[in-house]
Amino acid sequence: MANKILVIVFILFCLELGFFLVIFPWTPYWGNNFFLTYLPLVKQIVLSNYFRGAISGLGLVDIGIGLWEASHFRIAVAQLNAK
Question: Is-contact 21 66, C-beta < 8 A?
Answer: no
Q: Would you state the pLDDT for residue 34? A: 85
pLDDT at 35: 85
What's the confidence (pLDDT) of residue 37? 87
Query: Who has greater pLDDT, 75 or 2?
Result: 75
Could you read off the pLDDT of 22-36 as tens digits, one per residue? 999 999 999 888 888
H-only helix segments in the chain = 2-23, 34-38, 40-46, 49-71, 73-82
Residues 52-78 as b/e (b if ≥16 CB within 10 A, e otherwise) read eeebbeebeebbebbeebbeeeeebbe
